[in-house]
Amino acid sequence: MVHNFNAGPSILPKEVFEQASQAILNFNDTGLSILEIGHRTPLFEPVMQEARALVKELMNLDTNHEVLFLHGGATTQFMQLPMNLLNENGLASYTETGTWSNKAIKEAKLFGHVEISGSSKEENFTSIPDELQVSATAAYLHITTNETIAGTQWHAIPYDCGVPLVADMSSDILSRVLDFNRFDLIYAGAQKNMGAAGVNLVVVNKNILGKVSRNIPSILDYQNHIKEESMLNTPPVFAVYVAMLTLRWLKKQGGVSVIEQKNNEKAKLFYDTIDNLPVFKCPIRKIDRSKMNAVFVMENPELEKEFLNLCTAEGMIGVKGHRSVGGFRVSMYNALPIESVKAFTNLMKHFATKHG
């Protein structure tokens, strides 16, 4: 028995793996693999259409919001977003909450001016900024809704920031109910919570596009992708298919509100346990703790190796902290069953008894 706490690529529902394997061997009883069919065919086009429609339905999107599946990982969106939304002399507002927001900031600076409207750098990224200073002239405000490495999450979304709101939701997409229509652009690499690596979800309010003066390469222009219904060129067909299967699974679970309750239960079990065991310590400010990626350390760092060895022996996969921060990280994405969190917290209790 293994428990998969990998941060990304990460656990997906078992039925998705089974269906995806089947489609590689014999897609929809055609005698063909999904890997050997044209994308502009009556075989694949419905896959793209269903994937986009499921996102619209699960996120409750209005008609201004377009759904795209694009190449390149969230890292591509770090540059594609400012290229489409930020004029050369314009200003964009960014919140600085950890590794991922810093990477987004670095890319935005290539296209225009960037102000930092709120930062938790002084707190070593263990919190989310309490207050933001957003210039009214900013083209948009960018937030990273869940900092996958730092282990923080925005629980109060700054909807009323006065400028278009854009967000990197790579590691908490579809994990909780938000007012998605109040975001003007949302992007997420699929490999954390909604599919396989190789595809990005982009949800964009079409009314904010077409306002920059620079020439945008065709493949990087959101408007072209909207016009071509996310089939401007060959899409990453298999990754889109896996995303569609995962979205179907999510709908079958009851949708985002049902999965949110399950995620809340898992996070509560984890954090209640750690707060009651003095051997372990979660350095994140309580109100800002991530329900997707829980980070923690040991009060006595000398015990870390022993605990890690115990985790390995017990089949707890992917719990070592990111190489940049150390300690431990337990990722609890949508597909992770609560049984895995129970197994992990039992192991923590067992270890604490031994070293208490």
Q: Which residues bind ligand PLP (CB under 6 A)?
A: 8, 73-75, 100, 144, 148, 168, 170-171, 189, 192
The two three-digit tokens of residue 71, written as one number = 């190449």
- The two beta strands, 200-205 and 65-70, are antiparallel
The verdict on whether omega for the bond into residue 9 sits within 30 degrees of 0, i.e. cis, is yes
For the bound state, the minimum distance from the C-beta of residue 171 to ligand PLP, rounded and expressed in Å, comes to: 4
Q: Which CB atom, from 80 or from 148, has the smaller least distance to ligand PLP?
A: 148
CA-to-CA dists, residue 85 to 89, 90, 203, 345, angstroms: 12, 9, 14, 44
Is 100 part of the annotated catalytic residue set?
A: yes
Q: Which CB atom, from 9 or from 304, has the smaller least distance to ligand PLP?
A: 9
Q: Among residues 100, 221, 266, 288, which one is catalytic?
A: 100
The two three-digit tokens of residue 163, written as one number = 């400028």
Residue nearest to ligand PLP (CB): 73
Per DSSP, which regions of the chain are E strands? Answer: 3-4, 65-70, 91-96, 113-119, 141-144, 146-147, 152-153, 165-168, 185-189, 200-205, 280-281, 293-298, 316-317, 328-331
Q: Which CB atom, from 168 or from 260, has the smaller least distance to ligand PLP?
A: 168
Q: Which CB atom, from 175 or from 345, has the smaller least distance to ligand PLP?
A: 175
Q: Which CB atom, from 100 or from 351, has the smaller least distance to ligand PLP?
A: 100
- The two beta strands, 316-317 and 3-4, are parallel
For the bound state, the minimum distance from the C-beta of residue 134 to ligand PLP, rounded and expressed in Å, comes to: 21
CB 343 within 8 A of CB 270: no
Is 168 part of the annotated catalytic residue set?
A: yes
103 Cβ contact partners less than 8 Å away, ≥ 6 residues apart: 75, 78
The full DSSP string for 291-322 is SSEEEEEESSGGGHHHHHHHHHHTTEES-BPP
For the bound state, the minimum distance from the C-beta of residue 272 to ligand PLP, rounded and expressed in Å, comes to: 25
Q: Which CB atom, from 100 or from 249, has the smaller least distance to ligand PLP?
A: 100
For the bound state, the minimum distance from the C-beta of residue 153 to ligand PLP, rounded and expressed in Å, comes to: 10
- Under DSSP, the state recorded for 233 is S
CA-to-CA dists, residue 6 to 60, 163, 262, 307, angstroms: 29, 35, 18, 17
Q: 274 in helix, strand or coil?
A: helix
Q: Among residues 154, 168, 249, 266, which one is catalytic?
A: 168
Q: Which CB atom, from 90 or from 198, has the smaller least distance to ligand PLP?
A: 198
CB 203 within 8 A of CB 81: no
The two three-digit tokens of residue 11, written as one number = 């656990």
For the bound state, the minimum distance from the C-beta of residue 120 to ligand PLP, rounded and expressed in Å, comes to: 15
For the bound state, the minimum distance from the C-beta of residue 308 to ligand PLP, rounded and expressed in Å, comes to: 22
Max alpha carbon distance in the chain (Å)?
64
For the bound state, the minimum distance from the C-beta of residue 323 to ligand PLP, rounded and expressed in Å, comes to: 14
Q: What does the alpha-carbon distance between residue 236 and residue 248 come to, in Å, rounded to a whole number?
A: 18
Q: Among residues 154, 192, 249, 288, which one is catalytic?
A: 192
300 Cβ contact partners less than 8 Å away, ≥ 6 residues apart: 279, 355
Is 29 part of the annotated catalytic residue set?
A: no
Active-site residues, by number, are 100, 168, 192
